[in-house]
Structure formats: structure tokens, C-alpha cells
Amino acid sequence: MKNIFLIGMPSSGKTTLGKRIAETLHYRFVDTDKLIVRDESRSIPDIFTESGEDYFRELERRVLRTIRPGDSTVVSTGGGMPCFHNNMDYINASGISVFLDVPVEVLVRRILAHGADDRPLNNPTDPDLLNTLQQRYINRLPFYSQAHITITGETTEDQVLRKLGEWL
């Protein structure tokens, strides 16, 4: 069975939807950020602080390459993962990519509601958070736009499953 890779900005719902989709399809679920934290025995903010973003992006590349085509896995990727080391090419070659295109205003609302302790690039106390996220979205959109499926707006599991039905 094909893997399903959920991509998009932080707080777009990749992990929440991914768990539900995996359960419905009887797939395995993985969150690449959680795999990195487990493998490194330290938090993502600690990795950024102690080793830098370049090191973190290399960790993402390595973790992604452990997911093989046909693993029947729903993968919640880190928000920046598709944008580095030809990861988007690997994602598209290894399964079905789904871009959860959630409005930046909604992302800000979600980040402020749950905080971003595990997201070092999204500081909920940043007075310019909306503009920061809008610029990051613009920079990442060329990568996200390569996804097989794009779902715009706040979405539900059923909407994603309907779109996936055409690809599975």
C-alpha cells in the first residue's frame, strides 16, 4: 500500500489528521519530529540551540529516508522538511503527498492557543508572528505546491480520505 505524507506549515493539522487517517486505513502512523526527538534524546528547540538548523535539516533528511515506498504509513512531516535536501522529490516518489493548505491567520490562532514550545521557528510571543508566518509560507509554497493533493482551508479527516480515495 502507498505511503501518505502530510505536508504543510506547523499547526496545519498534520499530526492530528494523520493519526485519524492512519487509524481509519489501518496504516502505521509516524511523526518525523517525534522520531528525531526519540533518536536524538533531546527536544527540537535543544537541537536548534545546540547544533543549529542545518544539523536539524540533515536529521530530517535521514529520518525521511527510513520510510520506504509501500510501507503503508501515514507520515506527518515537519513543516520545513519538504524544503530541504530534495525531500519533496523523495516524498513524491515514496507515496502520496497531501498539502494541508491552512490560512496563516488560522495557524497563528492555533499557535497562540497551544503555544509552540516544540517549534523553535514559531515564537508565540513574537509580536510580528503573523508576518513571520506569512513570509515563511510564501517561501515554502513552491515546495508544498509539488504535492499530489492540495486541500485548502480548515479540513476534516473525511475530506482528506475522499481526496486520497482517487490515489489509493
> What confidence tens digit (pLDDT) does each residue in 62-75 have?
999 999 999 999 99
Range 16-21 contact pairs with CB under 8 angstroms and sequence separation of 24 or more: 17/100, 17/155, 17/157, 17/160, 18/74, 18/75, 18/76, 19/74, 20/157, 21/74, 21/157, 21/160, 21/161, 21/164
Quick: pLDDT tens for 35-91. Answer: 999 999 999 999 999 999 999 999 999 999 999 999 999 999 999 999 999 999 999
Quick: pLDDT tens for 141-164. Answer: 999 999 999 999 877 778 888 888
Return the pLDDT at 159: 80
Residue 109 has pLDDT above 60, yes or no: yes
Cα 33 from chain centroid? 9
The pLDDT of 8-23, averaged and rounded, is 93
Residue 115 has pLDDT above 90, yes or no: no
Q: 3-state class of 95 per DSSP?
A: strand
Quick: pLDDT tens for 126-142. Answer: 778 899 999 999 999 99
Domains and CATH numbers, the chain: 3-161 (3.40.50.300)
Residue 118 has pLDDT above 70, yes or no: no
The model scores a pTM over 0.85: yes
Return the pLDDT at 158: 81
Return the pLDDT at 124: 65
